[in-house]
Structure formats: structure tokens, C-alpha cells
Amino acid sequence: MKISYVRSWTFFLFFLLASCDQGTAPPPPEEPFAFRITVKDAAGSPKPNIRVSVYPPFDVGWLPAPLKSPAGILASSTINFAVATPARVTLSLLDLDGTLIQKLQDNTLRAAGLYAFTLSLQRRDGARVMICRYVATDTATGTIAFRDSMYVTLWQPDAEIAVLGYTSGNGKLESSDTLAFPYVLSLPPIVVTRTDPTPLGSFSFPDSCIITLKDTATADQMTFGRRLVHGTNEITVTWNPAGKALLKTGNGLQTLPTAASAGARDPFQWKLYQNYPNPFN
């Protein structure tokens, strides 16, 4: 009986320790993001100075014609906001990590009403999702009267614009800038609106992108699609400008119900309206 008693407690302690160890063990660390592409010729030698462009696999045809910037025209978009009382208004554009890109507005507005600000960014991104933050500070008390933010999307599905960089002497190009690859970020659906600004629908980034490689000396190029993960993405390509494997994934447009309409804009209520167009390209 004594031996049985000791064995029972030994088993219980072992089970308890094992259970506690499983419950308190830290989760495995998340693998950092990396995009690495290697370009080689048919003989396996590296191909240097190959331009690498990365952009979303969306069909520009689903956007209304006014949303497309003509060739050579800098992409722009207009942000509307309402001011209810005199206030110091700050309108800022930030990266998703909180880094300030540009302070769009920082002034005291003494009259209630609707205001607009047109932004234009000369960036070489295929796609970039940013945050527009609107903060209104009461001029009399110094307290925050209103604060809101929204997603602003720069979308440039053009290999001549969306240049990530060039392969080095060893035929490689690497980027760890997650913000340049919204395909691997867990973003909610992003709103598309009319000018009034009634929502037309929303779109989501797929987990894939289009990659165009171009030898700018000869104008030869090849285009293909790849799915990406929030981890290490190793891509090895054999240079073959005659080959083409374009990934088709649809445009991701989702129609919103009529009840989601924003309705008329009220100049006497604090409000940050979705920029138009969004995305802008």
C-alpha cells in the first residue's frame, strides 16, 4: 500500500509539471518578413541590373474612369473633413507603423464648415496603405475636440512606376520593408467612394502580387505572379523574357449594401470623410 501511495503522488506531480510547462511555454517567435529574389540566366549565372517591379494583381478596369490618373500626371486625392467649432486642426499622413510621411494641415480654422485638402505623393510604390489622422484641438481649452483616422491607399499597378529596385552583381534583390507589401498585412476591407462620398464598395489586398523583371538596356522583360507570406519569401527566377506566367486572382471588389451610404455631409458635425479617389493612382 505504501509503494502504491508514493507512485500515485509521483505520477500526479509529473502530470502537474507537464501541464504547467505546456501552459506557460512562450509562443514560437514570428519569422521576420523578407522578400528575396534571385535572377539567373539559363547557364545559372547571376543576372545583374535587372529592374524588379512589384504591384497588386488588380484589374484597373473595375475603377471608374475618373479615378485613373492620365499617364505622366502625378497621382492625387482629396480629403474632406468637417469642422464644428473653431479649432486647431492637424491632418497628417502616416505609415502603418506610425512614421510621419507628411503633415497635410496644421492651422487654426475659425469657421465651422466643410474643408478639403488635395494630396499628391510622388512615390515609387506599387501599393502602399497609409493612415490619415485628423485631430481637432479646442482653441479655448486646449483639449481634444475630435480625433479620427482612416486608410488611404496609393495604388500604382504600373511596372514603370512600381520599382522595388535592381538586382546586384550577384543577381539578387532583397527587401524587408513589410509596408511595401500590403499583401502580407492583415488589413480590413478598404472603402471605395463616390465624390459625395457614398461608398461604392470595398476592396481587399490578396496574398499575391505581380512581379515584372526588366532588362532596361535591351527592354526585354518577363512578368509572373507569386503568393507571399509574412515570413521569408525566396524566389529564384531563370531569365526567360519569352516566358510569361501571369497570376490572375480577380479584383477583390466587394459591394456594400445600400444602407452603408454615408448620406449628405453635415458641416456642423465633426467628421473625417474617406478620401476620393481611394485608391488613387
Domain boundaries, the chain: 32-59+72-272
Q: What are the backbone angles phi and psi of residue 269, rounded to the nearest 5°?
A: -125, 135
Residue count (the chain): 281
Angle formed at CA 48 by CA 44 and CA 51, multiple of 5 degrees: 120
pLDDT of 33-68, one tens digit each?
A: 999 999 999 999 999 999 999 988 866 555 655 455
Kind of pairing between the strands at 172-175 and 34-40: antiparallel
CB 93 within 8 A of CB 102: yes
Sheet holding 208-215, edge to edge: 163-166, 51-55, 208-215, 220-227
Going by DSSP bridges, is the β-strand pair 232-238/34-40 parallel, antiparallel, or unpaired?
parallel
How would residue 201 be classed by pLDDT, with cut points 50, 70 and 90? confident
Give the separation between CA 9 and CA 43, rounded to whole angstroms. 68
CA distances from 195 to 12, 73, 106, 210 (A): 68, 20, 24, 30
Euclidean distance between CA atoms 155 and 183, whole angstroms:
12
In this prediction, residues 138-152 reach a mean pLDDT of: 93
Confidence of residue 256 (pLDDT cuts 50, 70, 90): very low
pLDDT digits (tens, 9 = 90+) for 4-26: 444 444 433 333 334 344 444 44
Q: Per CATH, which fold does 32-59+72-272 belong to?
A: Immunoglobulin-like (2.60.40)
